[in-house]
Amino acid sequence: MDNKTLTLAYSPCPNDTYIFAALANGLIEDAPPITVQLEDIENLNNSALKGDYELTKVSYAVVPDLLENYRVLRAGGALGHACGPLVVAKPGAGKALKDFEGKVIAIPGERTTAFMLLSLAMGSGKRPQTLAMRFDKIVDAVADGTVDAGLIIHESRFTYKDEGLVSVADLGEWWDQETGGMPVPLGAIMVRNDLAERTKEVNDAIRRSLKYAREHEDEVMKYVHEHAQSMDETVMRKHIDTYVNEFTDDIGDEGIAAVKELFRRAREQGIIPKQVEAVFA
């Protein structure tokens, strides 16, 4: 094993901290040593464009812009069923996405998969007016009238009703219906190309970290709590159960097909400019 310390960046969300807790805290025997940086997903996307970290979580929507410098690891990503972003609004503001054409929708970043899915669902030439903000600020912005609707991700999908908001569109359900049941690709773990010879080692370390979490939950949940910003225990558990699944261990042929379909649709609508094929390692 190469003892060079690697840089690893991911979000403070419970699914990421759950997956990487054992690895980050040196609990995996013979795993590569790492230094960790926790950032909001849009910050991670922007950092990846600069090649800042050797290993990093990103939105699948930004992957086409990263392929000169990175490839996608098969382990550690976020895909699944019934886990897509939601568009939420105040009751009576609108019943469907078409009701928000020309109105202001808060989004968690223009490079997020959530925004790519929203753009696909609204259709070619119907790009909404947007206001980008950190994902955990969106529900409040909708509730206080700063924006007409909000595109929510992460734990906000479990808490928006507490603020009196309603779901206008479930983009995970939209994707499921459009694709005949494909999982929705949300986030990927990328490895920089200068570490290409270590992808097997890193994939293995991520899988062992996840296995450790599943077998020692009381231990790793301390790390999850530390970064969850006083999140309710029930919400934290729902978050992990929703975003950590069989695709986290290995994206598999089904997941890769879903990523290809996402890119195909984005290319057809001019969201990404050219044919791209992600390299999975």
Helix boundaries (H) for the chain: 14-24, 41-49, 113-122, 138-143, 156-159, 171-179, 199-215, 217-227, 233-243, 246-249, 252-268
Distances (CA, A) of 26 to 21, 107, 209, 266: 9, 35, 10, 39
Query: What CA–CA distance (Å, rounded) separates 220 from 25?
Result: 9
The answer to whether 191 touches 55, Cβ cutoff 8 Å, is yes
Query: What CA–CA distance (Å, rounded) separates 114 from 163?
Result: 21
| Residues pairing with 10 in the sheet | 38
Query: What CA–CA distance (Å, rounded) separates 193 from 228?
Result: 31
Give the sign of the dihedral formed by CA 251, CA 39, CA 71, CA 61: positive
Q: Looking at 81, 154, 216, 227, which residue is catalytic?
A: 154
Q: Indicate if 154 belongs to the active site.
A: yes
Catalytic residue numbers?
154
